[in-house]
Chain A
Amino acid sequence: MSALLEIEDLAVVFGGRSAAVRGASLRVEKGETHCLVGESGCGKSVTALAIMNLLARGGHRSAKRMSFASTDLLSLSDRDMARIRGNRISMIFQEPMTSLNPAFTVGSQMAEVLTRHKGGSRAAALGRSVELMGRVGITAPEMRLGQFPHQLSGGLRQRVMIAMALMCDPELLVADEPTTALDVTVQAQILRLLATLKRELGLAILLITHDLGIVARVADRVSVMYAGEVVERAPTAELFRAPQHPYTRGLLSCVPVPGRVRRDRPLGSIPGVVPAIGPGFAGCAFRSRCSHADETCGRAIPRRQAGAAHDYLCRLEPEFTELQPA
Chain B
Amino acid sequence: MADVNRGNRPLSPFMLGQYYRLQMTSFSSIMVRISGILVLGLALLVVCWLLAAATSDSAFALVDGVLRSWIGDVVMTGGVWALWYHTLGRLRHVVWDLGYCLDVRVAEKLGLGMFVGATLLTIVTLIAV
Do A and B make up one complex?
no
